[in-house]
Chains A and B, each alone.
Chain A
């Protein structure tokens, strides 16, 4: 109820334009705790407009969530002397660690090729690969492999027809993040399209980070590795000795 009220307030406060996006999220941060097993973020919003709704071409909504962008090395195996070894490598310059794209209709009807290229909406476009070494002729297959492998682990998601759009005004969708996501700032984009052309867009952010003991251990391991290493050894020795002592006590008592 409060969310709805806030939304209406937002709509009222917006400056005048043809069609604009007003959006909200069920959370603006994802906390990685000890029992973290993935998370779901609800993304919802409304289209603000001054004029009456144009029925044609129909309004479509695209929602994307992108994780921190990093270079990735993709290896291809080859059989050499009977053994499969990593033979060729292609460094992909920038690939989001997580990418989900949800649409309100089939892919072909929501955005044109040109607009996809311009706004980098599809997974293919979100990955940037400048060039492969001269020795590799089919560098495309490496990019495809990256997408395939990350799709398999739930890090890349094509969610066509999953944005629920009502009366060309209210929309909502749910993006689920798997447990193996990395920390960082996640970019959330909402794009409105008509006839394949982007007519409005809005971006927001979700912070993904470890909290509590997870945060503390991670920081210690990075900042004071020697202390962390000694701590792990002491814990191991104490646990080993403790178990031994406990068993002796159990047998005698």
Chain B
């Protein structure tokens, strides 16, 4: 069955959209990623204009994150205090990111820059996570305890706060900076930023993996809501009908994803996410390096 999307101005198969939403929802629940890094390119492949795909993607992430975070709240695996600190940085970052995005748009080539951002960030983070979790997996097989890393400089910073749920007593500056940089990237790349946030929380802040997913989802809700609003006001590119179809699939998927995620071991979870991130990175990199089928392209955005 085909459905016509009022803002995107294209007709697409409704079941395909449901499936896409569901798939991303499962990932969202399992890993605590919003799935924006998957949904945005996939929507683009379906023929939805990139600007609409980016803006609508962030709207859909709001829904799947709300659904996911409720399940985590019930299990008390959300560090609300840490989430709020990250969020403060995130909102400022997103505002900066949108300003930067519009600046780049006037300079042209924003499309290329977004794609390069994807390849670089997905590649680096996916690679790091993969190696790290492979090591952790080997260690746990040998029966040894994973060594906890200590960041001397992190502990030397002022404004120390106690994060009870995470069992941390650290300065508020590193989480603020993490929130800020993820906010900037999420606005430019049109993603929630979970795939950057999750490893940053584990490796940089030293948070326990179980708390990371819920806290990341909590923070993503607000940052993506802010991004949605900014896109709706500045570009009028949020397609609410498209978002609704995606999120119906997404919220159902997120529930299954959360259930699956609790049964998997943390190392397995991380290695699966790393593999996925690397796969998407590889696909995007190929598009940049291989000779395109058609060297010409029609300008986007003007209708």
Chain A residues close to B by CB (< 8 Å): 32-38, 70-79, 82-86, 89, 97, 141-142, 145-146, 148-150, 179-180, 182, 210, 213-215, 217-218, 221-222, 225-226, 228-233, 235-237, 239-244, 247
Contact = CB atoms under 8 A, between A and B. Distances in A.
Contacts of A78: 295
A218 B295 CA distance: 33
11 contacts: A35-B3, A75-B296, A146-B296, A149-B294, A210-B6, A213-B241, A232-B238, A232-B243, A235-B244, A236-B59, A243-B255
Contacts of A82: 289
Contact of B63 (A75, A141, A149, A237): A237
Interface stretch (B138-146, B171-179, B229-237, B264-272): B229-237
Interface string B276-303: 0000000000001111101111110011
B297 A232 contact: no
A86 B247 contact: no
B232 to A, nearest CB: 3
Given A180-B10, A240-B63, A229 B233 contact: yes
B38 interface: no
A232 B228 contact: yes
B2 A72 contact: no
Contacts of B10: 179-180
Main secondary structure of the interface of B (DSSP, over half): helix
Contact of A86 (B2, B109, B243, B302): B109
Contact of A221 (B7, B60, B112): B7
B215 interface: no
Nearest to A247: B255
A232 B236 contact: no
Given A35-B1, A38-B11, A239-B244, A145 B66 contact: no
B296 A74 contact: yes
Given A34-B4, A85-B112, A225 B232 contact: yes
A37 B11 CA distance: 6
